[in-house]
Structures are given as C-alpha cells and as structure tokens.
Amino acid sequence: MTQLSDTSSFVKRNAPPVVFAVLIGAMTALIYYRYFHEDKSLQLPPQQQSPAITSLPTKASRFSTDNLTVENKNIKNLPIYTKSDTIFNSNDTKIFLKFFSLENNPKKFKDIKRGDGELFTTSDAFLVVYKKSMVYQAHVKPNTPSGNFDQTTLEQTAIDTLQKLGATRASDPTITYSKYIGESLTDTSNPNDANYINFLFDYQLDQLLVTSNSAMLKVSYTSDGSIFKIEITPFETEGSTERYPLVNINQALELLKNGNYLTNISGERDDLILLKNIANVDLNKAYLAYYFTYTDNKVQPVWVFEGTGKTSVGEVKVKYAVPAIEERFYKSNQQNP
C-alpha cells in the first residue's frame, strides 16, 4: 500500500516540471490562437471611399459650441449601405400625368445633376421625370399672394399628395417659407411675408435621418392651397454586414473646423451662395445621419451640425456634414471635397 508520505514525496519531486509543462502548453496555444487562428469577429471591415459631400466654398472664421446640443452620441458604430437601383418606370409616369392632368407628349430633357429625363409641359406647369427623381412646378403667376397659410391643413394635404404619387414619407416635415426678392426666390422666417410654404420630408435608416444637398421629398403650396412645386427622389438601400467605428463628437468638431463642410446656407437674400466668409458660427445642434448624393452609390454615416452664422449681410442659417467613420477606414488616395 502506498503510504501518504510516499505520495507527498512524489508530488514534491514532480510538481514543478508538470506545472512548467502546463504553462508552456498554455502559452503555445495562446500564441497560435493570437497569430495564426483566423477569428472572423476580429477582422476589420474593408476600406471605403470617403463620402462625396458636396460643400459650398463659404468658410467660417470661428465656431462656437456654447449652445450645442448633441444627439445620438452613444452610437459607436454603423454600417454603410449601398443604394438600390430604384428608377421610375412608365407606370410611375402614368400616375404622375394623371395626378397633374398632363398629356403624354414628352420631350427629351437633360439635367447636369439628375441626368436624362422626359419633359411634359402645359401653359400652367411642367413635369420632368428622370430615372431616379421627378420634379413638378407650376409656372410663376404675377402678384402671387403672401401670408395666410393654413399650415395644419396643407401639411396633411402634402402627406396625402405624396401617398397618391407613390412616395412614402419617413418623418414629420420640416416647414420653411419662401418669398420673392425681385425675380429670385429666397427663404424667409416670416410666414406673413412668404409667397410659398414648403414641407420637406426625410427618409430614415437605422432610425437616423437621411440628409442630402437636394430635396428628396418636398411639397410647396401657395397661400390658397395650390401646388407650386413637388420633388420626389425614391430611396431604397441594400444592407451592409460590416459595421464601422465612428468618430466621437469632439473628433467630428475637429474635422468641421479643419474642413468647413458647409452643405447648406439660407437666409433672406438671394445671393448667399456668393458669400466667402462667415465671421462666427453659433452651433446649436449636432446629430448622426446618413448622407445621400446622386453621384455616389454608397449611403454613409455623417455628423451633421446646424447653427446660425453672422455675415456682412446679416444672420444666416447654416448646415454642415462631416464624415463620421474613422479616417483609417477611408482609402488614402482620396481626399474629401
């Protein structure tokens, strides 16, 4: 019978080599797993072209963040989507013609941004149907009345109109007003001074707004409830399995200060696009969104900044968009506009 003392002696003699062997085996397994085992969850997503943000040349001298509120700041990563090739077909055109009471006698039309289209005209209005968008606009009437908009009724009318035209809204509208200065149409903050009321709807992805330099869903009315303009851009995407790490709000602010990605400027003048400098921009809102353009087949996350700016011609509203994905995931041979 093996004595307890013999067992104790055996353990003392052999324990160090056994422990050492176990440690060597564990380290070898760890090294193999770390450097040779292909773990799909640790693979980085592929590099992408940076978003083709269409920016205006106006520069800001200074940005103030004292009044800045930030939304979606806890989102750490998002996918990139690919736009589906959604186009208007002959059935869509028939729906448009019937709704606007237009005859089917198209003329060829080409727009630099939207491409080839079909133009339908009457003495009162015109309709252009492109492959990926449509625009209807009534001809400007002399002495278009101003003010007295029934906003609640017109908003519901705009929703019903888009539905009849086959467009599904994805958000409550942003409401703006426009007025004429001479022959040019410009924004105004005073409804009583406006010739038109505009309802702008946004699409959504991952519960985030889809932003663009061009209106995607827009309906404008005169004060008597007549349609002045409708713009529809169909929007569908294909999902992406890869998720990309995002820059935080402080990194996005640095990109903004270094890049000045101004995408929109508005105010009660028709020559704001010619401004070269904004003395100070008071940022009041920042949020994550997806950025859409006609020329890029990718729909990518961006940080959007909104605020007001002081210029030589008065106060203006401004909107900026900067890439939200970490720079290392963008191809180095491309620079942002």
| 3-class SS of residue 99 | helix
Q: Please check the confidence at residue 219 and state whether its pLDDT lies above 90.
A: yes
**Same domain? 275 vs 146:** no
Domain end, chosen from 172, 205, 235, is at 235
In CATH, what number is assigned to the domain containing residue 67? 2.40.128
Residue 335 forms part of a structural domain: no
Domain end, chosen from 207, 235, 263, is at 235
Question: Which residues constitute the domain of residue 118?
Answer: 87-235
Token pair, residue 167, equals 């467009």
Which residue, among 221, 199, 203, has the nearest Cα to 212 in the 3D structure? Answer: 203
Q: CA 21, 22, 28: angle at the middle one, nearest 5?
A: 90
Residue 12 forms part of a structural domain: no
Domain end, chosen from 191, 217, 235, is at 235
Residue 174 forms part of a structural domain: yes
Residue 65 forms part of a structural domain: yes
Residue 41 forms part of a structural domain: no
Residue 5 forms part of a structural domain: no
Q: How confident is the model at residue 82 (pLDDT cuts 50, 70, 90)?
A: confident
Give the pLDDT confidence score for residue 33 in this predicted structure.
45
pTM given for the model: 0.75
**Same domain? 251 vs 299:** yes
The mean pLDDT of the chain is 81
Residue 4 forms part of a structural domain: no
Q: Which residues pair with 264 in a beta bridge?
A: 319
Token pair, residue 288, equals 């994550």
- Those residues whose C-beta lies under 8 Å from the C-beta of residue 182, and which sit 6 or more positions away, are 270
**Same domain? 66 vs 163:** no
Length of the chain: 337
- Are 53 and 291 spatial neighbours (Cβ–Cβ below 8 Å)? yes
Residue 53 forms part of a structural domain: no
State the burial class of residue 96 (Cβ atoms within 10 Å of its Cβ: 0-12, 13-18, 19+).
buried
Q: Model confidence over 109-167: pLDDT tens digits? A: 998 878 899 999 998 999 999 988 999 999 887 667 778 899 999 999 999 999 999 88
